Structure 1
Amino acid sequence: MTVTVPGPTLGVVGGGQLGRMLGEAAAPLGVELVVLDPTPDCPAAAVADQIVGDFDDPEAMAALAARADALTFEIELAEPDLLDELAAEEGIDVHPSPDALRTIEDKLVQKRTFGDAGIPIPPFHRVDNAADLRAALDEFGSVMLKARTGGYDGRGNVPVTDPDDAADAIEAVGGPAMAEAFVDFERELSVIGVRGDDEIRTFPVGENVHEAEILRETVVPARTTDDVRAEADRVAREVLSHLPGRGVFGIELFETTDGDVLVNEVAPRPHNSGHWTIEGALCSQFEQHVRAVLGWPLGATTRRSPTVMTNVLSTVSEPRPARLGGLDEPLSEPGVSLHWYGKDEARPLRKMGHLTVVGDDETDDVETLLARASELRDGLRFD
């Protein structure tokens, strides 16, 4: 391929914060973005043209394809059959492959695919009813019940230890589910991987700190051993080898207390745990995704310095217009960057933005960076 600028137009299914950051990364490359999202003036509309429509609306999807030279998605609610139809009828490239989306959007299919490939995963059990869940509890002792589709940020996940709670747990997830054995883990890790035409690249391993099933901080490099980081990278590359199409994938992992690495979940798109790459790596996950989807050469995944990303979650008790204060200190401090997602409404624990704290050099202690990132985040307020 010969790359020229101004470049092509990239169509994106989804216009949330990931679409917004894709647009911010695409503009310096001479690539224009157009997004499809049902919310008028979605976050990405500040940096891209928007088509207002549902993700499964054939007419809206056709309008998106008509304006784009290639298609991708930033949300798993994209409809893979519709993407396949557009690829066939319009002759447009869609990446990652809709087959990758089919594999990943259903957590049961995802786990079966990786298990059949010999990729290390926690034990799991299909759950269609309370009897299935009780059988899983009998086998595993305690489980995390997960909705097979649609869950994120803890939604659709219910921990279950008592068989008497099986019926209520099934009702809580609201549909077909799978039960995964609780993992005795030391820490949660993630690898942001990118597939190009004929190569796979990975960013350095990050460590993820969760609270109430929501990602709070990502620490890079992960506070673990070189052997564990090497194994996490190996497992991530194995996962990528079984997912078709070009693009960025977020791979969440468990490091067990025995030092093993197991795959938790995979996202076929840029991932929250990769936001640190905007300031912390030579080429961000968002620029990598644009490059990969278009078939352009990939950028370097090298880390610039130790980096910590912390999510800014809304602290309001009920929905109200979004307004963030307390920004003077983080904006005055060297090495600290603010990313505001442009969401109009603050809701309890909604992701509204993030802060990134980048160290001066390799001698900086990530513990110090993490403490500073948490302090700065906690000083923010929703007015």
Structure 2
Amino acid sequence: MTVTVPGPTLGVVGGGQLGRMLAEAAAPLGVEVVVLDPTPECPASPVARDQIVGDFDDPDAFRELAARVDALTFEIELADAELLDDVAAAFDLSVNPAPETLSMIEDKLVQKRALDEAGVPVPPFRRVDDADDLRAALDEFGSVMLKARTGGYDGRGNVPVTDPDDAEEAMAAVGGPAMAETFVDFERELSVIAVQGEGEIRTFPAGENVHEEEILRETILPARTTDEVLSRAEGVARDVLDTLSGRGVFGIELFETADGSISVNEIAPRPHNSGHWTIEGARTSQFEQHVRAVLGWPLGSTRLRCPTVMANVLGTVDEPRPARLGNAEAVLGDEDASLHWYGKEEVRPLRKMGHLTVTGNGAGDDHVPRDLLAHARDVRDALTFE
């Protein structure tokens, strides 16, 4: 393989914060990025080479994108897999991860069935089309997490259900065909950012995720668990990659139970929020890895530089209003903290507006210092929306 710099132009379907950070990571490699997104002046537009304004299922916009780039990828599961396949064939382009992988992952029921059939450990689940199906799932599993089969993110589309009398209300909340998964009494949630390259696989160390109201708040590295569990999590993540096609970064969310067993919660066929720590905390960020992987370039090191905590900066307002972050000096004046602002024009309640990372000292430390998580939370809590 011969790699030249400046390199090719990469087309990205989706121009949100993930597209923005992909473009930031691509630039030092000499790779230009063109994004397709329906929102004019989307978050990625200030750092990408250009933006095509169009819906994620707009054939004309897809063809315009394909005509301007050398390879295609996506940063959102709303990308139309069939259109990606069609334009890739018409313009003789590679598209990674493969459209069939996107089709499998975007439907949570199809995803779980594929993993189960491959022998990857997953919580017991069943298809739910109506309230009667949900009541049957409650009879079988007891408490369940009801999940919309498509379109859910950041906890949206997920409804915990314990009482059969709530079945109709829960089905209305998810708004369509769903999947019921037995409620997992997990010790902690882990995530492994795994990278499928051209003939090589790399995995980042597993992070520990802290959620509140079904929204990721912090990711902690190293995860506060045993080496045996970490090894098991990596093994399961590699087994997951065997079920997927195409190159790129995959965010693999895992449950660790009290006995140390691991099962798969969900997969994202793209860089993932729980991998944002890699920008400061790893030798090569997940975003650079994704660019390298989809272009078929050699992958970088996934080594942990030092203990790291990533904290999401969420909208703390009561109603939408123009986005303006106040007291940013709380991060900028802290020598251990780094700020990433996503450039969204409007702040909304609990909307992801940015993130910060706080790094510790000593890459050889076995555990995250107890105060590193508290430090990250204190810095984040000092931020305001004006």
d(CA) in 1 for partners of 2:145, 2:8 = 43
Instruction: State the Cα distance separating 1:123 from its structure 2 match.
Output: 0.4
- By how many angstroms is 1:332 displaced? 1.1
User: In structure 2, what is the equivalent of residue 81 of structure 1?
Assistant: 82
Structure 2 Cα separation of the partners of residues 314 and 380 of structure 1: 10
1:52 and 1:87 map into 2 onto residues whose CA distance is 19
Q: Where does residue 153 of structure 1 map in the other structure?
A: 154
- 1:35 counterpart residue number: 35
Matching residue within 363, 367, 370 for 1:367? 370
Identical pairs, percent: 74
Alignment partner, residue 251 of structure 2 = 250
Looking at structure 2, the residues matched to 207 and 329 of structure 1 have their Cα atoms a distance apart, in angstroms, of 25
Query: 1:45 aligns to what SS in structure 2?
Result: coil
Aligned counterparts of 2:179 and 2:6: Cα–Cα separation in 1: 46
Deviations 1:76-100 (A, max 9, x none): 0001111111111110100000011
Instruction: Give me the whole-angstrom Cα distance separating, in 2, the residues matched to 1:379 and 1:244.
Output: 43
Match of 1:309, SS state, is strand
Aligned residues of 2:330 and 2:383 also touching (Cα < 8 A): no
Cα shift at 1:366: 3.4
CA 1:314 to 1:92, structure 2 compared with 1: closer, same or farther past 3 Å? same
**Structure 2 match to 1:15:** 15
Tell me how far apart the structure 2 counterparts of residues 121 and 228 of structure 1 sit (CA, whole Å): 16
User: Within 5 Å, which residues of 2 pair with 1:115-130?
Assistant: 115-130=116-131
Looking at structure 2, the residues matched to 217 and 38 of structure 1 have their Cα atoms a distance apart, in angstroms, of: 29
Is residue 189–residue 208 contact of structure 2 (8 Å, CA) maintained in 1?
yes
Alignment partner of 2:250: what SS? strand
> CA deviation digits over 1:203-259, x for unaligned, max 9?
001000000000000000100000000000000010011100000000000001121
CA distance in 2, matches of 1:291, 1:44: 19
1:339-383 per-position Cα deviation (integer Å, ceiling 9, x unaligned): 000000000000000010011213474321101000000111101
Partner residue in 2 for 1:51: 52
Q: Number of paired residues?
A: 383
CA distance in 1, matches of 2:248, 2:340: 23
Q: Is 2:258 aligned against 1:241? A: no
**Distance in 2, Cα, partners of 1:279 & 1:314:** 23
Corresponding residue of 1:188: 189
Match of 1:296 in 2: 297
The answer to whether the 8 Å contact 1:253/1:261 transfers is yes
Partner of 1:379: 382
What secondary structure, in the 3-state scheme, does the structure 2 residue paired with 1:207 have?
A: strand
Give the SS at the match of 1:51.
Answer: strand
Contact 2:278 2:284 in 1 (8 A): yes
- The answer for unaligned runs of 5 or more in structure 1 is none
Match runs of 1:300-339 below 5 Å: 300-339=301-340
TM-score, structure 2 as length reference? 0.98
Structure 1 residue matching 2:191: 3-state secondary structure:
strand
| Partner secondary structure for residue 167 of structure 1 | helix
Q: Supply the distance in 1 between the matched residues of 2:235 and 2:297 (Cα, whole angstroms).
A: 24
Match of 1:4?
A: 4
Q: Is the 8 A contact 2:222 2:368 kept in 1?
A: no
Find the counterpart in structure 1 of residue 67 from structure 2.
66
In the alignment, is the contact (CA less than 8 A) between 1:121 and 1:262 conserved in 2?
yes
Question: 2:127, 2:180 within 8 Å by CA — same for their partners in 1?
Answer: yes
Distance (whole Å) between structure 2 residues aligned to residue 325 and residue 88 of structure 1:
47
Map 1:206-221; keep pairs closer than 5 Å.
206-221=207-222
Contact 1:307 1:366 in 2 (8 A): no
What root-mean-square deviation, in Å, do the aligned CA atoms of Structure 1 and Structure 2 show?
0.8
The verdict on how the C-alpha distance between 1:366 and 1:243 changes in structure 2, with shifts beyond 3 A counting, is farther
Q: Residue 24 of structure 1 aligns with which residue?
A: 24
- In the alignment, residue 17 of structure 1 is paired with which amino acid? Q
Q: Does 1:106 align with 2:141?
A: no
CA distance in 1 between counterparts of 2:372 and 2:232 reads 25
Contact preservation (8 Å) 1:220, 1:366: no
Contact 1:76 1:101 in 2 (8 A): yes
Aligned to 1:283: 284
Amino acid at match of 2:19: G
SS of the aligned residue for 2:44 comes to: helix
Structure 2 regions of 5+ residues with no counterpart? Answer: none
SS in 2 for 1:84: helix
Question: d(CA) in 2 for partners of 1:339 and 1:59?
Answer: 33
1:310-359 superposed Cα distances (whole Å, 9 cap, x missing partner): 00001000000001112212211112100000000000000000010011
Cα distance between partner residues in 2 of 1:189 and 1:61: 35
Aligned to 2:229, what secondary structure does the other structure show?
A: helix
Q: Are the equivalent residues in 1 in contact too, given 2:277–2:310 (CA < 8 A)?
A: yes
